[in-house]
Structures are given as C-alpha cells and as structure tokens.
Amino acid sequence: MTTNNIKNIKIALIGDSGVGKSSIALRYTSNEFDQNYLSTDGASYSTKIITKYGQTLQLDIWDTAGQERYRSLGKNFYKDAYIVILVYDITKQETFDNLKEVWYDELKKNGEENPILGIAGNKNDQYENDNIVNEEEARNFANSVNGIFQLVSAKTGDNIENFFNLLINEYFKLNYPEKVQNIIDRRNSYQITKKKFNYTDKNENETNKVKKSKCC
C-alpha cells in the first residue's frame, strides 16, 4: 500500500463535556472502552485506515472538548472537517438542547458549508432509563438539518461501526458515485445470476425426480 493512494478525511466530534465523544472515537478506532476515561482537555486525535469501494481512506478523527471555556477553540478543530458528528447523552436532555441551540449554531458559523452531518445519541445501553431524550424529537432534528441519526453505545459498541459506515457511505456517494454504482451493479448482477442458477437447479431436480419415478 502506498501513501499516495490514501485519502485523508477529517472527522470532528462535537457536543457537551461528558456525552462520550472520546469513548465513541476510542470504540471505533480500537474497539475499546475505558470506564475511567477522563474528559478531553482541548482536543484529542486518533486515526483509522479503512478500504472501501477500492479506495483507501485515513480517517483523522478529532474529538473536541465540550467545556464552555474551550468552545471558542472548537472552530479550529472542526474547520475543514468533511464529516461532523454531533453527540448528545440520551439520559440528559440538556446535552440535546445544547446540541441544537449551541453546537449546531457554532458549526454553521465556523464549519464547512455543507459537511456530512451525523447526530449520535450516546449511552443507548441506558435506553430503559425513564429520563431519556425523546427519540422522535432527535430524529426530527436530524431530518431538519439533513443529518444521519443513530442511537449508539460506546460502552457496548452498539451501532458504532454501523453509524460510521453510514457516514462513510455518504462520503462515497458524494465523491465517488461511479465507484458506488459499480459495486451496486455488480451486486445486482450477482443476485440475478444466483437466482438464475437456483432456478435451473430446481428444474433439474424436478426432472431427475420424474426420471426416477418412470424407471422404477
């Protein structure tokens, strides 16, 4: 693998302190979870290299601090981010309200014009808790900002990989539509061929049954 073939994609996670941004990044890049993970001081950085549709990507993941004193610095980290994930804690309504009223506004002011947006409701492992953010409200917000919504759990890993895959697929649809279409066409062709062979095999089996019944 040569570095010339690798495309760097910047991903930024933003939201209040304690919602689990660092844990989401850690779960996705290393498949680990640290119960005692400290709140990010400023920003943290991690990477993951993936290959999809024949293209190798290095995902540069920036986890920004959620404390108010760092908010003015946040724009330096999600500037140039092609994918931005807004994270809230499903057990704390305030974190979702801030997502809509503070973090999204900050992103609109200082981020790229049309980034791929993800809305992640973290701590899905506590979904049975009575004091959770209304899922329909969160989905409606995601739809209103043209974002991809997903309930996730950094603790259990639930939906983390799937959520990032959805975001990466959106990146490919926008930037490599011909590669995506080629894969879709090949899959469709394979399914048609598979059905055709299954149909033929079925007919041959029926014919063999008839032959056997005549000969005996």
Mean pLDDT for the chain overall: 82
* Fold adopted by 3-175: Rossmann fold (3.40.50)
Arithmetic mean of pLDDT, 85-90: 96
Torsions phi, psi of 186, nearest 5? -65, -40
- What pLDDT score does 110 carry? 83
Q: DSSP assignment of 61-121, as one string?
A: EEEE--SGGGGGGHHHHHTT-SEEEEEEETT-HHHHHHIIIIIHHHHHHHS-SS-EEEEEE
Q: List % helix, strand, coil for the chain (3-state, nearest 5).
A: 50, 20, 25
* Amino acid at the residue 82: Y
Higher pLDDT among residues 91 and 106, named by residue:
91
- The CA-CA-CA angle for residues 44, 127, 116, to 5°, reads 45
Q: Which range among 15-24, 137-146, 197-206 shows the weakest confidence by mean pLDDT?
A: 197-206
Arithmetic mean of pLDDT, 65-78: 59
Look-up of token digits 């040569």: 2
Confidence category of residue 82, pLDDT binned at 50, 70, 90: very high
Whether residue 196 has pLDDT greater than 90: no
- For residue 156, give both structure tokens: 């259990």
pTM of the model: 0.80
- What pLDDT score does 7 carry? 92
Whether residue 31 has pLDDT greater than 60: yes
